[in-house]
Structure 1
């Protein structure tokens, strides 16, 4: 699981709950580990076994491949964390390094997925499937997988793959991983080795383009970002700030650092930062922490700051993926408390859906009256539209004039952005 390295709509994320997908170690078509007959897979034309990391004898993953036509080879790979990938190899392709593709996979017209993908080489495209149980089941039982690949360097991206033998082949991958774990040559708890693609650093914080895709996947049609140079440098340590309707959103990310799941410590520390910015009384409502596979986590908090100037509500989502602890939040005045909660819960649901987790329950509470009451902060003079927005998503409103005064969390300068 890696936010989704793929976001619905087909953009590769810099971290969203590891959802976004796990690309195994490079060397997908490397030579199989020798002298390991226990790993051998041969089923209806699908052949493969265990594969080593490039330049070493360390176990990387189990893989199978099959020549579909003279110009197309399809590969499946499964790593010790049970993340599945499919690869399409065409000698005629010449994809530029680090470029992204939008891929739609359809199995028998009954199940479809939109997934972001990266080329592992000029003629090999890796599509991360993660741990999507419904998709894996469809691949095992289905007759045909159709792929539509949208990439600037691919002219004909329509591919049809017969799924004969995939039941035995994919089960063989699972048995191969079981054998590797039993023999002690694989470690399911070790961090995944990302696909080595020039220009792409999976441990880097989420970029604005990726965040925009995540927000759009959550159903936000109009998103306005504060210019990067005007995002305040303060104790909130925000990577991005945006406005959706009447509420202000922010994202804070820090490196994961180790295998421990410390989502509560991360969340509590960030709430303490908000408490230090509240000039009045702070109340926090903490939901149950959800931990998945003993390595990923989600937590939802609702924070209320009440002061003489009024009140503000902040709905926070704390997440832990392969690379980052993240804090997503939306802030609104009492009148827009429900909007802030809904906005944050939508992100929660997208992440859960992409990762194959249970859908989050929504919080439904009454909103009051008042104004934002967190500490002051520098406000951006203008807001920027998210990159690559469609015409329907283009923000036609203009930013308001600069000013001073209370600005909610002081994170974005929401008061300086006129959504009308």
Structure 2
């Protein structure tokens, strides 16, 4: 079922050989540019028009009344309510430890630099709602923003055809988290609404959250007007496994992410042909028994999914570092020691009892993670995403006098004499 890439004996750069989904965000950006520009110029009416055109839903207003959010909470199945509250509790526990403290450094007597951390003022959090419903994404976006101290939080999620509102589970998750500013808007028009504001909503400073290619293209288009967390692509799982791995677990975990989308990537990296044969047999058996067989099969057989054969775990580690997976599982002997050697992954799941599905919901970690190899240079969503570092510099007269000669020397070396004069003038009578 999986494509096969044999890197045994190869010394080539793995990045050129590893599978990736073909996504043309630049082309998508040109397709959605008129939508974004219309929202910038016309506000809510343009969002409503785009929603009718793309989602088949005609809205009278974008904001969901607070009473409907409360009603969604009241209607929650008790077991689902308990699961969401547990996910929120664990996420808060983990993200609370990500808080940063201000730090004052005395550079010299009379000269200090204080590093302060300040939250962005207002954020727009996007919660997708296409093939599936994602109350878990509400948790993953809202919890770190709240812990960072963001004062104003708004959420957008696509309206359902039947109700013209976001899915009731999304509304319920918002209610459990105390967020009452929720908009029935999806796709590029939702991102544009966040960036430029409408008659119903104030512009934000930062947009976060995953979405489809149209959401990604819109985020790229408005970046600079607002900050963005990342350009999210289709979900990915890579599994580094050896002969000690249980092929049932490996197959189930590859399938779990393929369930998201036909473009989802499932990649197995292994030195073991024995494991590979057993996993392929399990894939045939398990895929046939799943609810979304067609979607999963398309993802597993697509160009973005493969098994990569390597000589040993050392080469396997080089391959997974080059791939930079959104989710990386280590199912090997001494899994913790192997995991600690990984440099590039959005999140690393260690051992047989830490599947990616745990991180999707209840590990306490965040599931909004870099895709498309971006884990080689970027991090997932966290409290830090919503904080800005601001430096506070304070020098006394004597501290400035002591270093003034160096400042003047460096300014003259860069042919910026006025920089030096801005220091010298303070001491020349």
- Which is helix-richer, 1 or 2? 2
| Shorter-chain TM-score range | under 0.3
Bigger relative CO (Cα 8 Å, ≥ 6 apart): 2
- Which is strand-richer, 1 or 2? 1
Q: TM-score, normalised by structure 1?
A: 0.27
Q: TM-score, normalised by structure 2?
A: 0.26
